[in-house]
Structure 1
Amino acid sequence: MFDIAWSSIKHRTGGFLGAFVALFFGSAVVTACGILLVSGLTSGIPPERYAAAAVMVGGEQSKPVKEDFDPVHAERATVPADLVDEVAAVPGVKSAVGERTIALSAADGRGEPVGLADPLYGHGWSSAVLGPVELRTGAAPRTDRQVVVDEEVARAGGLEVGDTVRIAVGTTPASYEVTGVVAGLDRQASVFFTDGRAKELSPRADRLTAIGVFADAGVDAGALADRIAKAVPGTDVYTGDRIGDLEFLDVGQSRGFLVGLSAAFGGTALGVVIFVIASTLGLSVQQRRRELAMLRAVAATPRQVHKMIGSETWLVSVVGASLGTGLGFVVADWLHGAYADVGALPADFELSYNPLPALASVVLCVLGARLAGYVAARRVARIKPVEALGESLVEAPELGRGRWISGLVLIALGLVVSIVVPLLIPGELAIAGAAGALMVLMIGSALIGPVLVRAVARLMGPLLTRSRVSGYLAAANSTANTRRLSGAVVPLALGAAMALLQVSILTTTQEEAKEQVADGVVAEWVLTPAGPGLSPELVQKVREIPGVTAATPVARSQVMLDYQEIDQMVTRQFGAQGLDPADLDRTLDLDVREGGLERLTGDTIALSRTAAGTTGLDVGDTAEVYLGDGTPKKLRVVAMYGKGLGFGDVTLPHDLLTRHTTDGLDAALLVAADGGRPAEVSAALDELAADTPALRVERPGDFAAAQEDAQNDQSMTNLIANAVLLLYVLIAVVNTLVMATTARSREFAMLRLIGTTARQTRRMMFMESWVVVATALAAGALIAVPPMVGVSLAMTEQPLPYVPPLVWVAIGGFVAVLGWLSISLPTRAALRRAPVEAATTRD
């Protein structure tokens, strides 16, 4: 049977080439998703500052979740300072060194900021032995006002031994004498204090960033790590390259990001790829109705027809999917670069080019293609030979009853999930359900696609028939060959619908977040940092300024909430802010719906409407929360508010949040003034900023614009992966339309032999393209609008999504041009052949 299949492929390259293209690019998309997933599970960055240690001990940086990837905490999980002695006492440990890492900013002796390419961190001098840190010039610091800087800091600040450098923790500066210069590192700039000074500057003196361990001679690092893990439970123990996960907090977060992205995007991508492959193979089989009918007429059994098409599918899918995996590695590399450009991944985070994703992609694509081939051949294989010959010449006039029912049921289900579910089930589940309903609606519409094409063709019939020859032929073809045109319409409609939905989610989210920030900040000024953050003591300085009536510090982090979703416990990460409730009504309006933010003290929490709906919590309930550094807390819900998109879905007491952040710094300070003294307050704030390094004074409009930029960066992160998927759909659209048009070469030749000119034929196909494009745009819009409305309801409580008119015009115009070019260019190519030659070629 494979010999027959290979013969069919050689003599029908057009249809099989279309299937090959769909499988080739589909396999590339699936492979790229798999590479990102494997990279999230296995990749990392080798250690630098901790490279000399045999073992490193740190806090538990992730939350264990059964049967799922362990999510990584947003802040650094620290360890108790007194744990050093316990680790040192473990057999095989030569010495244990406590390590503190402090976020800093620096200025030279003239007060000018030191521009650094890498983030600046401070450490105690005793921890210098953990990495390749050696003095190039000078000596170690001996007093609390002396420091050693690395070569990057010295070069950027023009510093030498004996110079003075201003170093700030947050917005609290101090002057230090440079006593030495050490070799620099690749990913960070370093300043070394005395151990006592490092302890004073640390956000929590009783905690350490990590503990470095040196092993006795001949002791294996892995065995020593096992002994340490048993001796000091509740910590994470690292060896080898895994130490990089402890040293670089962004590495673990990047791995979590890749796993989450792959899980969310990969499932959607696989569904779209299988759908496109099925559509393409269905069109390929439909174009062979005459050949397959003849086989049935000469006594080929249904089993033999299935076996032949199955063999053809195996050959094309194995070759296409296997070759496509190579492009998948290129796509994964491009995605890595794109995410690095928007700051979602470190530029030096290495992907894991493991062959397993390629193998999995081939298996999934081949199985999907085989199933699609079976479904496509089912009708022609089961009907009687005489009926098969009849249907090979003229399409069946009506859809089967089962197809009608299936299509209508899926459309009804998609509408319910899109519109009704967001009204009944608030939160992330409603958003995901509404967005996911697009594929359900698409499949349902594809099943009744011929009916949609017939309806549009009849509506456009009077317009088409104004042209006596070309228009008449176009109208007749469109009405008589609705199944063929439906195969061209479906991928075009899918591309339009996906583009509309993705852009709608992006623009609606951005516009709503922008409005919430603009309406929510009622303070007159916003103080923001140019460095790592604002020092906590800055709040009191501002409150002492005459005329200031309120100063609200805002801290930012991420927390995890455990909650019940359907029948299982789920852990989800939410953006969080920490607020001081004192005089909060003068600086910030979060649109409180229930409860009150004045009760936001102690072990309490406030949730946005979306977070409350997602977790099923209400005012008075107890939330199971894991703070930024992984500390578990049971917090009482005291308020629910509406402006979660602009300010974060979780709000905690300021002190509670900052105690569990890496640096203990604030992200902003909202300042309100007495109505009669704004000029005095403004001048005082400007003077404070001039004397305080890395402090900026902004108006709420500027702050809102900065928040909008941050939101845009997040939106770009979500858009990048979807752009790859949309590109695949566009390739599939062109592929399908070219297939459908090229297969009509014999038809074009017959028309020309009976007197139709080449110009009339081209005009006929141009008019048919109107039907295809109009049906695709109508179907795409009708399919996309319900999910768009559902997502808007879930996110903004408004049924109308924000989509600028120019977006509708751009997407519609692009789809129209793409459809027209994909039909007109193959038509012109087909008409170049002599009619007699083209008419005598095999179908």
Structure 2
Amino acid sequence: MRKHPNVTHLLASRAARMHRKAWAAAFAALALTSLLLGAFGLALASAGLGHARVERYAGADLVVTGDQNTRFTAKPWGSDPETATAGLTERVRVPQAALKAVREVPGVRAAVADEVFQVGVRGGEATGRPWTAAQLAPHALRDGGGPKHDREVVVGEGTARVGDRITVRTSGTDVTYKVTGIAEGPRPAVYFTSREAHRLAGHPGSVAAIGVTAGPGTSTSTLHSRVRHALDTAGLKSVGHRADGDGAGLRVLTGNGRGGAEFLQVAPARAGLLALLGSVAATVVLIALLVVSSTIVQALQQRSRELGLLRAVGATPRQLRGAVGREVGRVATVAALAGAVAAVPAFLGLRALLDAHDALPPGFELPLSPWLLPTPLLTAGLTLLAARLAALIACARTAKVRPAEALREAAPGRARQITGLVLLFLGVSSAGTATLQHGEAAAAAAGAATVVLVIGCALLGPWIAEGAMRVLGAPMRRFGGAGGHLAAANCTASARRLGAAITPITLVTAFALVQLSADATMTHAAGTQARDAARADFAVTAEGGGLPEGALERIRQVPGVRAATGVTRSTVVLARRETGSPRLERLPVLGVTPGGLARTLDPGVREGDIGELRPGTVAVGRDQARALDARPGSTVTLRFGDGTESRLKVVATYDRELALGAFLFSQEQLVRHMSSPGSDRVLVASDGAGAKTLRAAAPGAKVVAEPAPERLEPEDRALGEVVTVAAVGAIGGFTVIAVLSTLCLITIGRRPELSLLRLAGASRSQLRRMLRLEAAASAVTGLAVGVAVASVPLLAFSAAMARSLPYVAAAQVALIALVVAATTAAGTLPPARRALRDRYPSPEH
């Protein structure tokens, strides 16, 4: 054998033909691994290139806008300073003086000031803008002419006809305008004269943005340099005091960047999508490598005697490793390429799912450029590398031993046991760390604990199987008859085989429970807090354009109204250090009118008096107060939605922050930093006032009895739900295939054993019962270990984040158990059909 020139190639080709069924299971696992890694790789690459769609400024060469980012610089321990950046969702405005500076730049053909605000028209909402800015799209007239007087407007198609009079609600006030023209355009819009648009926008001395078009012979790059120089020379900055000093300069946008001035939510959503996909992709990689390694190792372990025989008859370690490497390489290459091809439609399916559930903000483009298509090939290479490494590890022991000892079956080593126990300890420690953390740090610690615990259980599989059989063996012998005795004996004698069977079951159970329960626990706890906080009998909301001016005071004066609270939603940015590194966290918050708040919305005050809320103060949720070491009388520093930084005095702490947000502000302070200030709705506590009288106090508003509880949702909640469901579905299906593959490989390797039992006199019914009981033992043990593994990080996570026990829907638990049971049965009984079918089988070698 040593002198054969192509012995490695010969061994690999012969083995591939003889073990096609065994490699079919490995092929499925490898192909799915390549598919998942390729799909998430494409999603990450696409999100990295993602941008806001250009609509209103498609005809402009440049757009001058405020700096929509806030920054925080800190020096990590023993490292250079680092800067964290977060997008702002409230518009940062441009000083009026910038318009003159841009118009004086050589090569500028036109510089047009734009305003953007929301108005209500005929029960819906539309975007209000000056008619002069329509040329930046450009949106041409389809009928009529432009507005010449302040009470004239141009509207989008389908809103009205030329000559009609329409009522437009702006800042809670209804005003009638005459329609002079109909303009094209993709979105509902109302165009005013420039003077009227600036008045309605409510920001004197500034504009929303400036659209710039280049004159003949001036390139975009040249014009960009000139405009940038002019703004820097004039020393113009974004309007308002900013926390980041020089970072508050104006921005000059070109190309796809122009869309960022239109859709302010896209930049924060893109950062959130990248972080979410990165986290999920890391979990996918770990689980995929674990499953691939387990499948390849199991496929080769079924042939350990064959490999040992080759070693015993003179095959060198190099020849054995080469043969196994070639054999695995052939299967893995084809599987990885098949998965890479399927990754493209899988990514398109994920993108369609995001669109169908409105998980991305309007205007968010996720491109699929041709040069991104090689990404699945890179992930296919990772899959191939993982398969080869697993193969080398699997045959390492057989290749190294001396030929005379090659046929001995090695028992699980002490090093494996110690490593597994250490990993269990580390997993429990990581879960314990989660109880001391807050927010994403707690979630990350809990997720890491799950992965470490699963790997630890995989290493301890034989010992876990031995312990399980001490519990399950007696009932199997007592109630299972001859088949039960055989099943108990087999499971006890082959603990290593049973341990390999329960590992993928543990993986799919733990992963599914953690992913489903983490979100469900937060949602359930937030819903409970929202219901506990609800006190209002009515809610008054605007149909479009905000509540009428003075509506809150008029509602308070209605006979029978005990209290009325104006509620406004916005976001703030919290700057903090984590292990010395800078971090900016975006948080949804509420602004309320504090008078009589406890009668309409009870946040569950712990310390202080929330009635003292006024500009310059803030109330802080209990967990956030603990993280910031804040209490009544202390101060916290926050950045509002427009980037303005303020030091605020804490007047109270409260319990129900999952529903009402980490911070509560006075409405008066919060609206100062919003693009469209005003109440989202008014909560009313009534002692006899009805919907009719409330509607009279707020004409045109909608009055709802027994309103839905006030509850803040994270900005990326819909996105997180879709990605989580997609990840659970994909990886859940992937691990189910892994369970099926592993059990099939084990059963295929047991065919000689089953044939020998038939020759010894065991009936088909006895062997079927034996296999069923063994499958039941594998399923029950895997489910029990999976639940135990999941419960450790879930208890820590729920205690840190929700202060409650973990929650998961009973239907989802039943579905997990049903899938595991069905998969275990499918992986055990059909592969043994041949040995059970033959009346006089001959033992296979």
Aligned to 2:278: 263
- Alignment map for 1:554-573 (pairs within 5 Å): 554-573=567-586
User: Cα gap change, 1:484/1:227 in structure 2, threshold over 3 Å: closer, same or farther?
Assistant: farther
Supply the distance in 2 between the matched residues of 1:367 and 1:630 (Cα, whole angstroms): 47
> Is the 8 Å Cα contact of residues 554 and 579 (structure 1) preserved in structure 2?
yes
Aligned to 1:761: 767
Letter paired with 2:28: V
User: Cα gap change, 1:74/1:175 in structure 2, threshold over 3 Å: closer, same or farther?
Assistant: same
Which moves more between the two structures, 828-837 or 524-533?
828-837
- 2:168 partner SS: strand
Give the counterpart of 2:38 among 31, 43, 48: 31
Which moves more between the two structures, 430-439 or 536-545?
536-545
Q: Is residue 511 from structure 1 mapped to residue 524 from structure 2 by the alignment? A: yes
Supply the distance in 2 between the matched residues of 1:303 and 1:619 (Cα, whole angstroms): 72
> Is the 8 Å Cα contact of residues 558 and 697 (structure 2) preserved in structure 1?
no
Aligned to 1:110: none
Aligned to 1:198: 197
Q: Number of residues paired by the alignment?
A: 810
User: Cα gap change, 1:370/1:632 in structure 2, threshold over 3 Å: closer, same or farther?
Assistant: farther
Percent identical pairs in the alignment equals 33
Aligned to 2:368: 352
User: Cα gap change, 1:594/1:144 in structure 2, threshold over 3 Å: closer, same or farther?
Assistant: same
Give the counterpart of 2:468 among 442, 450, 456: 456
- 2:753 partner SS: helix
Aligned to 2:295: 280
Give the counterpart of 2:485 among 468, 472, 480: 472
Aligned to 2:832: 827
Supply the distance in 2 between the matched residues of 1:214 and 1:468 (Cα, whole angstroms): 88
Once the two structures are TM-superposed, the CA of residue 490 in structure 1 deviates from its matched residue by 0.9
Aligned to 1:290: 305
Letter paired with 2:163: G
Aligned to 2:446: 434
Aligned to 2:379: 361
User: Cα gap change, 1:340/1:19 in structure 2, threshold over 3 Å: closer, same or farther?
Assistant: same
Supply the distance in 1 between the matched residues of 2:779 and 2:752 (Cα, whole angstroms): 24
Aligned to 1:551: 564
Aligned to 2:178: 177
Give the counterpart of 1:642 among 655, 675, 678: 655
Supply the distance in 2 between the matched residues of 1:273 and 1:329 (Cα, whole angstroms): 18
Once the two structures are TM-superposed, the CA of residue 599 in structure 1 deviates from its matched residue by 4.3
Once the two structures are TM-superposed, the CA of residue 722 in structure 1 deviates from its matched residue by 3.0
Q: Deviations over 1:117-176 (max 9, x none)?
A: xx62111011111113111111111222211111142xxxxx211112122236432221
> Is the 8 Å Cα contact of residues 16 and 327 (structure 2) preserved in structure 1?
yes
User: Cα gap change, 1:711/1:224 in structure 2, threshold over 3 Å: closer, same or farther?
Assistant: closer
Q: Deviations over 1:778-803 (max 9, x none)?
A: 111111111121111012223x2233
Q: Deviations over 1:231-277 (max 9, x none)?
A: 33512222223322322334334423321221221111111111111
Supply the distance in 2 between the matched residues of 1:331 and 1:734 (Cα, whole angstroms): 22
Once the two structures are TM-superposed, the CA of residue 523 in structure 1 deviates from its matched residue by 3.0
Aligned to 1:737: 743
Supply the distance in 2 between the matched residues of 1:829 and 1:104 (Cα, whole angstroms): 74
Aligned to 2:88: 73
Which moves more between the two structures, 77-86 or 272-281?
77-86
Supply the distance in 1 between the matched residues of 2:692 and 2:712 (Cα, whole angstroms): 23
Q: Unpaired runs of 5+ in structure 2? A: 1-7, 74-81, 233-248
Letter paired with 1:361: T
> Is the 8 Å Cα contact of residues 40 and 347 (structure 2) preserved in structure 1?
yes
Give the counterpart of 1:58 among 46, 52, 65: 65
User: Cα gap change, 1:437/1:136 in structure 2, threshold over 3 Å: closer, same or farther?
Assistant: same
Which moves more between the two structures, 540-549 or 725-734?
540-549
Supply the distance in 2 between the matched residues of 1:366 and 1:283 (Cα, whole angstroms): 17
Letter paired with 1:223: T
Letter paired with 1:89: E
Supply the distance in 2 between the matched residues of 1:297 and 1:439 (Cα, whole angstroms): 39
> Is the 8 Å Cα contact of residues 50 and 366 (structure 2) preserved in structure 1?
yes
> Is the 8 Å Cα contact of residues 276 and 720 (structure 2) preserved in structure 1?
no
Supply the distance in 1 between the matched residues of 2:714 and 2:226 (Cα, whole angstroms): 49
Aligned to 1:251: 266
Aligned to 2:78: none
Letter paired with 2:444: A
Supply the distance in 2 between the matched residues of 1:314 and 1:761 (Cα, whole angstroms): 36
Q: Deviations over 1:180-200 (max 9, x none)?
A: 111132xx2111011111112
Aligned to 1:335: 350
Give the counterpart of 2:153 among 147, 163, 170: 147
Supply the distance in 2 between the matched residues of 1:708 and 1:259 (Cα, whole angstroms): 16
Q: Unpaired runs of 5+ in structure 1? A: 108-112, 154-158
User: Cα gap change, 1:655/1:448 in structure 2, threshold over 3 Å: closer, same or farther?
Assistant: same
Which moves more between the two structures, 546-555 or 446-455?
546-555
Supply the distance in 1 between the matched residues of 2:348 and 2:669 (Cα, whole angstroms): 41
User: Cα gap change, 1:382/1:654 in structure 2, threshold over 3 Å: closer, same or farther?
Assistant: farther
User: Cα gap change, 1:701/1:141 in structure 2, threshold over 3 Å: closer, same or farther?
Assistant: closer
Once the two structures are TM-superposed, the CA of residue 100 in structure 1 deviates from its matched residue by 0.7
Q: CA RMSD in A?
A: 2.9
Which moves more between the two structures, 31-40 or 247-256?
247-256
Supply the distance in 2 between the matched residues of 1:69 and 1:727 (Cα, whole angstroms): 37
Aligned to 2:28: 21
Aligned to 1:156: none
- 1:140 partner SS: coil
* TM-score, scaled to structure 1: 0.89
Give the counterpart of 2:433 among 421, 433, 437: 421
> Is the 8 Å Cα contact of residues 613 and 651 (structure 2) preserved in structure 1?
yes
* TM-score, scaled to structure 2: 0.89
Aligned to 1:222: 221
Q: Deviations over 1:52-86 (max 9, x none)?
A: 11111112223457879853322333322332112
Aligned to 2:242: none
Q: Deviations over 1:765-784 (max 9, x none)?
A: 11110111111111111111
Q: Deviations over 1:633-681 (max 9, x none)?
A: 44444443221211122333323322222322332222234xxxx2235
Supply the distance in 2 between the matched residues of 1:532 and 1:382 (Cα, whole angstroms): 77
Aligned to 1:684: 693
User: Cα gap change, 1:717/1:198 in structure 2, threshold over 3 Å: closer, same or farther?
Assistant: farther
Q: Is residue 164 from structure 1 mapped to residue 171 from structure 2 by the alignment? A: no
Once the two structures are TM-superposed, the CA of residue 434 in structure 1 deviates from its matched residue by 2.0
Give the counterpart of 1:585 among 591, 598, 616: 598
Aligned to 2:396: 378
- 1:564 partner SS: strand
- Alignment map for 1:477-556 (pairs within 5 Å): 477-531=490-544, 533-534=546-547, 537-556=550-569
Aligned to 2:109: 94
Supply the distance in 1 between the matched residues of 2:737 and 2:378 (Cα, whole angstroms): 22
